[in-house]
Amino acid sequence: MTAEVIYGNVLAENLRLEMREEVDALKEQGIIPKLTVILIGDNPASKSYVRGKQKASSFVGVESNLIELPSDATEKYLLELIDTLNKDSQVHGILVQLPLPAQIQEQVIIEAIHPDKDVDGFHPVNIGRMLTGKDTFLPCTPFGIITMLKSKNIEIAGKNAVVIGRSNIVGKPVGQLLLNENATVTYCHSKTKNMEEHIKAADILIVAIGKAHFLKGEDIKPGAVVIDVGINRIEDGSLTGDVDFESAKETASYITPVPKGVGPMTITMLLHNTIKSAKRFHQV
Ligand SMILES: Nc1nc2c(c(=O)[nH]1)N[C@@H](CN(C=O)c1ccc(C(=O)N[C@@H](CCC(=O)O)C(=O)O)cc1)CN2
C-alpha cells in the first residue's frame, strides 16, 4: 500500500481563499478583523513563523500588527501590554509567540490574555470549553489536524487514535479533539510502557514528540493514518518530521509530509479564529 499524502499547504491555500471572501464581505459591513502578534527576542524559528502569520493575514485581508520586544523584556511589561490590548476594541485577537524567554512565565501570560481574544485557544477558559465540547477558539495545530482528517473524510468515530507526545499546545488538545469526535484515544509519552504495542494498534497516529524520524513504517499497522507534527532541523539544515516519511508511506493509508503538512494549517486556523473573534465581537 502506498499512502495518499495529505498536503496541508494545499488545503491551507484553499481555506485562505475562502477566508479572503469572508473578510471582504465583513469589510463591506465596516468590520476589519485585527490580530496583534507579540514576539519577544530573536529566536530565528519564531521570527519565521511570525512572518508567516503576517503574510497569511495580509493575504486574507486580516489586519495584523506585530509588536517586537527585546529578549530581556520583563513579565510586568508584557502583562501591561496585554492589558492595554485586552481593552482595545479594535483588536480581535492577541497572540504571544512561544516559546518565551526564561524570565517570563508562559502560563501567566496565557492566562492574562482575555479568553475572548485568545485566538491561540490556550487560555484555561477556552481549554475548558473545548473539553466540554462547547463552541470556542480551538488550539490552532490540533484544529488544523482535525480539519485535515475531515478534508479527506477519514473516519474518526470508533477508531483507535494514539497521540505520541503530551504538550499543552499539541498532544493534549489533539487527543481531546479526537475524543470529541468519538475516537478511543491513547496518549503515549516518555513513561509509557509497551509503546510499540500501542503504536501497532493505532488506526490514527498523531506524532508530536520532537524526535526526527522517530516513527518508522515497520512500527505501524497497515492502513493507519499518520499525522506528523514534528518540526526538526537536521544537520544539513533541512526540515524533517518525527516520522520516517519514506518507509511510513509504504504502510500507511494517509500520511502528512514535513514541511507542507500540518505547519501551514496552524497559521490558517489562527486566521479562522481571528475572523471568528471579529464576527463574535460585532455579533454577525
Ligand atoms: N503562540 C503560539 N506559539 C507557537 C505555536 C502556536 O500555535 N502559537 N506553534 C508553534 C510554531 N508555529 C506557530 O506559531 C508554526 C510552526 C510551523 C509552521 C509552518 O508553517 N511550518 C512549515 C515549515 C516552515 C519552515 O520552513 O520552517 C511547514 O511545516 O511546512 C507554522 C507555524 C510554536 N509556537
The tens digit of pLDDT for each residue in 68-80 reads 999 999 999 999 9
CATH 3.40.50.720 residue ranges of the chain are 140-263
Residue nearest to atom 11 of ligand 1 (CA): 49
Mean pLDDT of 158-182: 98
CA pair distance 204, 26, nearest whole angstrom: 37
For residue 239 and ligand 1, the question of a CB distance below 6 A is answered with yes
Ligand 1 pocket mutation, candidates 266, 271, 272, 274, criterion most atoms within 8 A of CB: 266
52 CB near ligand 1 (under 6 Å): yes
Question: CATH top-level class for 30-114?
Answer: alpha beta
Does the CB atom of residue 47 touch ligand 1 within 6 A?
A: no
Q: Domain 140-263 has what CATH class?
A: alpha beta
With bands split at pLDDT 50, 70 and 90, how would you rate the model's confidence at 235?
A: confident
What's the pLDDT at 17? 98
- What's the confidence (pLDDT) of residue 247? 97
Rounded to an integer, what distance in angstroms lies between the CA atom of residue 256 and that of residue 241?
Answer: 9
Cite the active site residues: 53, 97, 120
Q: Give the pLDDT score at 237.
A: 87
Tell me the CA–centroid distance for residue 9 and ligand 1, in Å: 13
Residue carrying C-alpha cell 489536524: 145
Q: Evaluate if residue 1 carries a pLDDT over 90.
A: no
pLDDT of residue 145: 98
Domain(s) of CATH 3.40.50.10860: residues in the chain: 30-114
DSSP string, 194-232: SHHHHHHT-SEEEE-S--TT-B-GGGS-TT-EEEE---E
Q: What are phi and psi for residue 40, nearest 5 degrees? A: -110, 125
Nearest Cα residue to 156 out of 130, 182, 131: 182
Predicted TM-score (pTM) of the model is 0.98
- Asked if the interface predicted TM-score (ipTM) of this complex is over 0.85, the answer is yes
CA atoms of 194 and 120, how far apart (whole Å): 34
267 lines ligand 1 (CB under 6 A): yes
